[in-house]
Amino acid sequence: MSCSVTVSGDPHPGGSEEGRPLGRRAFLGIVGVGISSLWWGGRALDLVSQATRIAPESVRSAIPFGQGWRIYSVSPPYPRFDPATWRLRIDGLVAAPQELTYAQLGRLPRAEQVSDFRCVTGWSVDNVHWTGVRFADLLAAARPLPAAKALTFVSAEVPYVDTLTLPQAMASDAMLAYRMDGSPLTRAHGAPARLVMPRMYGYKGVKWVQRIVVTDRVLDGYWEQRGYDRDAWIGHSNGL
């Protein structure tokens, strides 16, 4: 007896159209599992990427499988950093506006931390080693005025900006970083200095910072003008 089954109602029995519609079931199954993974896939990929830790770091950083950097930018090309001409301006509501060279930035009290980086789109990088300067130390010489409430970080990548309230910027794990994982920041990661705010999503981490403006109110950053939450707390904002 043949195993081939002609499903009743099939207008084309016989020939090479015989057999059970296993392919259709597989198709629907894969699509169904795939769509359900929109809710569990992020966590699953996180678990899988834990297992890829046995791979060498060079491989893992080249192929982001769950864990790994993806370079986001909004307006090409990436800004170029020239140590001779680069200046970090600190102005706005301050008693003494500052202009720091790269060398001067490096001479400020140095802070180190290991923290996780999470992007709002779902990827993350754990245990990033950052070296930089805390905002209390960075702003000390400029002396913010009593009316100061917030900071605007202006990127050399026009028109990217983002903001933090002063209390947010004073968090113990917020910093302006100029080294990452033991080396100076690379161009793609925002050389020479970027904002690091580990408890908020990565779009707060302005790269290629060239100016910090002290303001009397919080302004919308680049992505906030496009509907993202201003307080980008991980797990408590942007619908996540």
CB closer to other proteins, 94 vs 111: 94
Site for other proteins in 141-180 (CB under 8 A): 145, 147, 152, 154, 158-161
Is 190 near other proteins (CB under 8 A)? no
Least separation, in Å, of the C-beta of 102 and other proteins? Answer: 21
Interface mask toward other proteins for 104-123; x: CB under 8 A = ----------------xxxx
Give the separation between CA 194 and CA 205, rounded to whole angstroms: 6
Is 225 near other proteins (CB under 8 A)? yes
CB closer to other proteins, 38 vs 103: 38
Strand pairing report for 124-133 and 161-165: unpaired
Contact between 128 and 190 under an 8 Å Cβ cutoff? The reply is: no
Is 78 near other proteins (CB under 8 A)? yes
Is 231 near other proteins (CB under 8 A)? no
Residues 6+ apart with CB under 8 A from 144: 93, 94, 95, 166, 214
CB closer to other proteins, 45 vs 141: 45
Q: How many CB atoms lie within 10 A of CB 135?
A: 22
Is 184 near other proteins (CB under 8 A)? no
CB closer to other proteins, 12 vs 182: 12
Site for other proteins in 10-69 (CB under 8 A): 12, 15-24, 26-27, 30-31, 34-35, 37-45, 61-66, 68-69
CB closer to other proteins, 173 vs 237: 237
CA distances (Å), origin 15, targets 7, 10, 11, 59, 184: 14, 12, 12, 50, 67
Give the DSSP letter string of 192-232.
T-EEE-TTB-GGGS-SSEEEEEEESSPPP-TTGGGT--SS-
Least separation, in Å, of the C-beta of 80 and other proteins? Answer: 11
Site for other proteins in 83-102 (CB under 8 A): 91-93, 95
Residues 6+ apart with CB under 8 A from 125: 67, 68, 69, 116, 117
3-class secondary-structure state, position 107: helix
Question: According to CB under 8 A, which one of 59, 140, 216, 236 is a site residue for other proteins?
Answer: 216
Q: How many CB atoms lie within 10 A of CB 31?
A: 10
